[in-house]
Amino acid sequence: MTRETWATRTGFILAAAGSAVGLGNIWRFPWMTAQNGGSAFLAVYLLVVFGVGVPGLLGEFVIGRRARRNPMGALRDLSGSRRWAAVGAVSAVTGVALLSFYSVVGGWILRYLLVSMTGPLTGGAAYLSTPGAYFETISFGFEAAAFHLLFLAITGGIVLGGVRRGIELGTKVMVPAVLVLLVGMAAWVVTQPGAGAGYQFFLGFDLTTLRENFFSILGPAAGQALFTLSVGAGTMVTYASYLGEDRSLPFDGSVIALLNTGVGVLAGLVVFPLLFSQGVDPGTGGPGALFVGIAGAFAALPGGGLLAIVFFGVVTLAALSSSISMLEIPVAVLVDEGGWSRRAAVGVLLALVAVTGTVTALRPALFDFVAGTLVDLLLTGGLLAFLLFAGWVLGRDAVAEYVSGAGPVARQLATPWLFAVGIVIPVFLVFTLLTTAG
Ligand code: PHE
Ligand code: NA
């Protein structure tokens, strides 16, 4: 059976950008920023995105395209070692862990989308009048589990369609829609009274907080930087494995990182001013900050009901283009390594995440642990493994893959890149792991 590839030149960029742009930008980012010092967090996060995330992204691309296999098969084939296969197999676990909380949040989004569509008809829903209390009642419990199942089922439906008809086609619609709608919303938010404090919180550079809390900010900022770029999980290895030789990896990687950062900043420019215009302190909201603040803002606005539909519609699309990339990791492992059919792989994994996600949806403390600390650890550790592999097992071959299809600038950067991914970045990641764990 021949392995699928992307059908068009833009297919890979859009799918990978669709994976990157997601709830990480719109929901997890404001939550983490608020919890870890506002603009000081933003500064460290941006440094890690470009200093570690982008070279790391290229490391995953190099491995995936060279091997044309899932993360487990890729590390085994390229090294000839069973041990590396075991390391790569962790990616399948990471995919399941990610999906276990991500589809719970996806369920919240679907629910808000649904009530914002039906709320105005029924004379205004509680989510608008008492947003804090509403979020409390819906966020965890059996209904949350039910909406998680709905989100998971949609994710599975797209992945079942395969690389071209499912993932590529889906992201071709989703990514542009998200971009256009967010730009529109950011422009509109400027007109809202009280928005200024939000811009200050988000963008005002705060050196004192940065200096005093640097070490406690580092772990979460690094974790969020990797999360937002979908790096460390094996998603990018997997997506690059469906690629031909003609694409420039450094070029595509840069476009993806810029798109993702742009959407992240745009989302910040929508969310923080809205929160402040509602008098919501983002630091007290926890994972609900986005929902409570946004719903409150929509309630206060004329035409807010319509905006709510647009907003939650956009977020649903962004979330789905990411959740499919989480599911695709273990699917690719089962299809490539186990010889499973795509249908069987999707079916079994949906059944598994239906259970793990339901447990997560019933236990807020578990949710916080998985969505925060566990994900930070898995992604940081995962990226460390991929980069040591690229730097020390592939070595010169990694450089050859890096420059294949690339232009003159990228060629100049190839050797410094190998040095960074083999030595400098691993040192940084180990250091980060120690500050997170210790
Ligand atoms: N980058 C995605 C987001 O920001 C999340 C993600 C992480 C997707 C890891 C795949 C792998 O929402
Ligand atoms: Na992201």
Residues 126-153: tens digit of each pLDDT: 777 777 888 888 899 999 999 999 999 9
Rounded Cα distance, 360 and 5, in Å: 34
Q: What is the dihedral of CA 250, 255, 258, 259, to 10 degrees?
A: -150
- Neighbouring residues of 348: CB distance < 8 A, sequence distance ≥ 6: 334, 340
Structural domain includes residue 226: yes
- Give the C-alpha separation, 53 to 32, whole Å: 17
pLDDT value of position 30: 77
ipTM rounded to 2 decimals: 0.98
How far apart CA 101 and CA 158 sit, in angstroms, is 19
Q: How many CA atoms lie within 13 A of 249 on its CB side?
A: 33
Residue 332 Cα to ligand 1 midpoint, Å, equals 17
As a whole number of angstroms, the distance between CA 172 and CA 47 comes to: 29
Chain-centre distance for alpha carbon 380:
14
Question: Does this model's pTM top 0.90?
Answer: yes
Distance CA 351, CA 359 (A): 13
Pocket of ligand 1, beta carbon within 6 A: 19-20, 22-25, 98, 227-228, 230, 233, 235, 322, 325-326
CATH for 382? 1.10.4160
**If you take atom 9 of ligand 1, which residue's CA is the nearest one?**
230
40, with CB counted inside 10 A (0-12, 13-18, 19+), is buried
10 Å Cβ neighbour count for 212?
A: 12
pLDDT for 422 equals 98
Kindly state the helix (H) or strand (E) to which residue 224 belongs, with its residue range.
Answer: helix 207-229
Task: Give the angle 171-111-279 at the CA atoms, nearest 5°.
Answer: 100
Q: How far apart are CA 240 and CA 54, in angstroms?
A: 14
How far apart are alpha carbons 253 and 383 in whole angstroms?
16
Q: Hey, which of 27, 109, 227, 256 would you mutate to test ligand 1's pocket, going by the most ligand atoms within 8 Å of its Cβ?
A: 227
- Give a yes or no: residue 399 inside a domain: yes
**DSSP string for 239-277:** HHTT--TTS-HHHHHHHHHHHHHHHHHHHHHHHHHHHHH
Ligand 1: which of 175, 224, 230, 265 to mutate, judged by most atoms within 8 Å of the beta carbon?
230
> 124 CA to middle of ligand 1, Å?
33
Render each residue's pLDDT in the chain as its tens digit; 438 residues. 578 999 987 899 989 999 999 999 888 887 888 788 777 888 899 999 999 999 999 999 999 999 999 999 999 999 999 999 999 999 999 999 999 999 999 999 999 999 888 875 554 567 777 778 888 888 999 999 999 999 999 999 999 999 888 888 888 888 888 888 888 888 888 888 888 888 888 887 777 877 888 888 888 899 899 999 999 999 999 999 999 778 899 999 999 999 998 888 888 888 888 888 877 777 666 788 778 777 777 777 777 778 888 889 889 989 999 999 999 999 999 999 999 999 999 999 999 999 999 999 999 999 999 998 899 899 999 999 999 999 999 999 999 999 999 999 999 999 999 999 999 999 999 999 998 776
Closest CA to 231 of 98, 360, 417: 98
- Does some domain include residue 2? no
Nearest CA to ligand 1 atom 6: 230
String of b and e for 350-360 (b: at least 16 CB within 10 Å)? Answer: beebbebbbeb
The DSSP code for 323 is H
Q: 84 C-alpha vs ligand 2 centroid, how far in Å?
A: 28
Tell me whether residue 4 is in a domain: no
Q: What is the identity of the amino acid at 402?
A: Y
pLDDT tens digit string along 197-250? 888 888 877 778 778 888 888 888 998 999 999 999 999 999 999 997 788 999
Ligand 1: atom nearest CA of 326 is: 10
What residue owns the CA closest to ligand 1's atom 7? 230
In a domain, 214, yes or no: yes
How many Cα atoms sit within 13 Å of 428 on the Cβ side?
Answer: 20
Q: Report how far ligand 1's centroid is from the alpha carbon of 229 (Å).
A: 6
The residue whose C-alpha atom lies closest to atom 4 belonging to ligand 1 is 24
Angle at 202 between CA 197 and CA 203, to 5 degrees: 100
272 within a domain of the structure (yes/no): yes
What pLDDT score does 207 carry? 78
On whether residue 338 sits in a domain, the answer given is yes
If one counts every other C-beta atom within 10 angstroms of the C-beta of residue 393, the result is 16
377 C-alpha to ligand 1 centroid (Å): 14
Q: What is the maximum span of the chain, computed from C-alpha positions, in angstroms?
A: 65
Question: Which domain, by its residues, includes 166?
Answer: 9-437
Q: Give the Å distance between the CA of 231 and the centre of ligand 2.
A: 10
Q: Provide the domain count of the chain.
A: 1
Q: Which of 271, 110, 286 is nearest to 198 (CA)?
A: 271
Distance 21 CA to ligand 2 centre (A): 4
Q: Which of the listed residues 25, 325, 329 should we mutate to test ligand 1's pocket, taking the one with most ligand atoms within 8 A of CB?
A: 325
Q: Phi and psi for 186 in degrees, rounded to 5?
A: -60, -40
C-alpha to C-alpha distances, 203 to 186, 268, 362, 424, nearest whole angstrom: 15, 9, 36, 29
